[in-house]
Amino acid sequence: MLLKTYEEKGLLFNSNFTEPAGQADTFAYRGDLVLVEGDVADASGRRKPPTATIRQSVLLAQGDKLLLAAGLFDDIARLPVFVKRYGADLSPEMHAVFFVSNIAKPIKLKLEGIEFALIPLEDGMVWNELLDELGIEKSELKGQSAGEKVATVHTAFKSHAFKGAELTLEAALESTIEVKRGGRGPV
């Protein structure tokens, strides 16, 4: 199982769950996915926290291939890092949508034969934004396990057409915006 392998390698970080998704050999994950591991911290081989992750990731894997990947990138420049690190695990039929903090408009692009939908998101929860984008009402998910909910999201992708300009990676990298974060917390 692919997600179990990721877990053993320490690539799943701040995990919410990894569980069966209702079909044979199909598993879902929600949490952060490591892009760049932290340095080795001690002689036992333990590592410091990762230096780059895909936050709030939503993954669906069947066998040894990813069928669905979603999450939040602070910088669109991390997309090639994801493709380089996990490219061998991506199914040719994979659905991939990433919310990106430093883009102003939706973008569609292809890398290594996989089409990626990139949607601007300054603030919000990936899961909620994903449901909104796909037009899934929370009532439609009632009675399903967490893994089955991810499988339902994957099914909705099959009939959904994402909006956005089709760009090359180079053009997308040139069209980034500066992100200004406001202060948060008690005053």
Residue 123 lies in a domain: yes
Q: Are 118 and 104 in contact (CB under 8 A)?
A: no
Paired with 19 in beta bridges are 28
Q: Is residue 52 classed as helix, strand or coil in its secondary structure?
A: strand
Residue 110 lies in a domain: yes
> What does the pLDDT look like over 9-66, one tens digit per residue?
999 999 999 999 988 899 999 999 999 998 888 888 788 899 999 999 999 999 999 9
Residue 183 has pLDDT above 60, yes or no: no
The whole-angstrom separation of Cα 166 and Cα 138 is 30
Residue 33 lies in a domain: yes
Residue 160 lies in a domain: yes
Residue 180 lies in a domain: no
Residue 179 lies in a domain: no
pTM of the model: 0.90
